[in-house]
Amino acid sequence: MMLFLSFILGMMITVVLIPPLIKVATKWDIVDVPDARKVHLTNVPRIGGVAMLLGTLLPVALLLTNHPDIQAYIIGIMILLLFGALDDKFNIDYKWKFLGQLLATLVVIVYGNITIDKMSFLGNVVIPAYVSIPFTIFALMGVTNAINMSDGLDGLAGGLSLLSLAGIALIAYVTVNSNIALIALAVMGSILGFLRFNTYPARIFMGDTGSQFLGFTLGVMVVLLAQQEDTPISSFIPLLVLGLPIIDTMQVMLKRIRQGQSPFKPDKNHIHHQLLALGFNHYESVLIIYLIQALMVGSAYLLLYATDTLLLGYYALIVIAIIGGMFLAMYAGWQVHGSTGIDNGFVKKKVQWLQAGDHFRNLIIYITMVLLSVYMFVGMASASSIPMDTGILSMLMLVVLLVQILRKSRGEFNWSDRVVLYTLSTMIVYVVQNYAGITYAGINPLDMIFVGLLITVVLGFRYANNDQFVPTLLDVLILLLVAILALFPEVKINGINFTLSLARIVVLFYAIELILSHVKKNILYTRIVAAMLLTLIGVVAFVN
């Protein structure tokens, strides 16, 4: 309950604070002005980090203030708030920002005793203080600046941090560290509240206050995770958890040094800039980065107890693939929206037909309808039994649906349709997770259908073109979080696989919304399919 409360409080406080802060930022001229290095074209308030920090501070201070390391973390982020606010207002020199980061880092090291004093590949050897303290300073300030430097597109730094924090929260959960999980969830809530206003086109930026706060938080959390007593976690796991910002910062700084420039000089060599130069638009660039980050965070969990050698080799392959792939694409002058390179006349015509008009979007919508229907019917057919209360609820929903069908209300879907379909989806996920068991050659067909449904929903978002359904990168980010949650079957409540159930419910809800907002001429078909499913649930429940 405390974990859930920390998440909700962080999100609600941030959402409430941002609208008045936008007015304050405009009045006090705390805005980000466009220049040659930036991609936005108008002045945007950059005070969102204040809302995020305060949104995190309250739940953490209320629930965890008796712990010295937590107290040190709170003091550290307050120091960053002061220096970050000064930078957002006056654009202070980077040396002053480093001073603020150094002070915050020293507080958590000296007062909170948060240091990197052991490495898994060194065995039981304790690293002496004269080595561990400078290395901890370097690591924490490095992560802080990595997130700060990644804040170049709307929703980018927030989304990357959100995915990393999801990994941290779940690793903390399975390693029984509720303090880290609570902080991570509080920050996740504040990020989601902020992204409500920051996804493209952004109404507010997080500013240096926000990006430094997120980077510092990620640094402290991964150090605490990796330095737990008797932890079997490899010291290389943080590299995967922190993901793309570390790789991006390394390649940018090396490039600047090779060109004889300061490693801290701003430029347009970041991965998101390179993606834009390759012809990807803003939406596509952020989506690609999200996908890479989600892959790395998911890998961190799957390889949680892997050997140091395996982790280091895997991480090296990722670095080579990303940096090498970008270099080759830039060197070859490749453009994503250029020629398809397909010479076959028949195939070329089909590709052009899909690209024209709404054909591809409609194809995705219909595939989503089929997969959703198959998932629901197969799930019900494989159920060994269904509880009586679920059967009664299905009959009530069936009555509501039959009234709609008999009234011949075919103009558009209404609120009662959504209530019925959302309730139906929740019931089916509940039944599938608790009463259904179907495998073929060791594979659960429902899992395969779910993955396909997730893919079509994401594609449907990308090609949506309807005023009633305007998906944002925040929607895509939520689906990526859902995909990560689906990897963690250990998180159970009263014996129920909570994370996997939540993941499936969210995907089904998005699939329903996608269908309802695009397929108006198939209203009767949708209602009939829903009626058949509700009838099947009721019959199985009453017969058994």
pLDDT tens, position by position, for the chain (544 residues)?
577 788 888 888 888 898 898 888 888 878 766 655 555 456 788 888 899 999 999 888 888 867 888 899 999 999 999 998 888 778 777 788 899 999 999 999 999 999 998 888 777 778 899 999 999 999 999 999 999 888 777 778 888 999 999 889 888 888 878 889 899 999 998 998 888 787 666 788 888 888 999 999 999 999 998 887 766 788 899 999 998 999 998 888 888 888 888 777 777 788 888 998 888 888 778 888 988 998 899 888 888 888 889 999 999 999 999 999 998 988 888 887 664 444 455 544 554 554 454 666 778 888 888 888 888 888 887 777 788 888 888 898 888 888 877 776 555 667 777 788 888 888 888 887 777 666 555 557 777 888 888 888 877 766 665 544 555 666 667 767 766 665 554 555 555 566 677 778 888 888 887 887 766 656 777 788 888 888 888 888 888 6
Please say whether the beta carbons of 483 and 298 come within 8 A. Answer: yes
The CA dihedral of 405, 410, 413, 417, to the nearest 10 degrees, is 0
Nearest to 40 by CA among 126, 164, 155: 155
Task: Specify the pLDDT at position 487.
Answer: 56
Task: Specify the pLDDT at position 40.
Answer: 47
User: Cα-flanking dihedrals φ and ψ of residue 305, to 5°?
Assistant: -110, 25
Element (H, E) at 498: helix 498-516
Task: Specify the pLDDT at position 67.
Answer: 81
Distance CA 226, CA 172 (A): 10
The CA dihedral of 197, 198, 201, 207, to the nearest 10 degrees, is 130
Give, in order, the Cα–Cα distances in Å from 440 to each of 372, 433, 446, 449.
20, 17, 10, 13
Asked whether the bond before 201 is cis by omega within 30 degrees of 0, the reply is: yes
Angle between helices 473-485 and 156-174 (to 10 degrees): 20
Helix, coil or strand: residue 1: coil
226: tokens are: 């990796």
Angle CA 146–152–183, to nearest 5: 50
Query: Distance between alpha carbon 97 and the CA centroid of its chain, in Å?
Result: 28
Distance CA 415, CA 393 (A): 18
Please say whether the beta carbons of 12 and 52 come within 8 A. Answer: no
The CA dihedral of 87, 163, 77, 118, to the nearest 10 degrees, is -120
Please say whether the beta carbons of 499 and 313 come within 8 A. Answer: no
Please say whether the beta carbons of 502 and 485 come within 8 A. Answer: yes
Distance CA 297, CA 170 (A): 11
* Alpha helix stretches (DSSP H) within 278-307: 282-302
78: tokens are: 């307050």
Task: Specify the pLDDT at position 1.
Answer: 59
Task: Specify the pLDDT at position 356.
Answer: 52
Distance CA 275, CA 287 (A): 11
Q: So where are the chain's domains?
A: 2-332, 348-543
Give, in order, the Cα–Cα distances in Å from 224 to each of 107, 113, 445.
15, 10, 39
513: tokens are: 């919304």
User: Cα-flanking dihedrals φ and ψ of residue 508, to 5°?
Assistant: -65, -40
Nearest to 10 by CA among 289, 300, 226, 213: 213
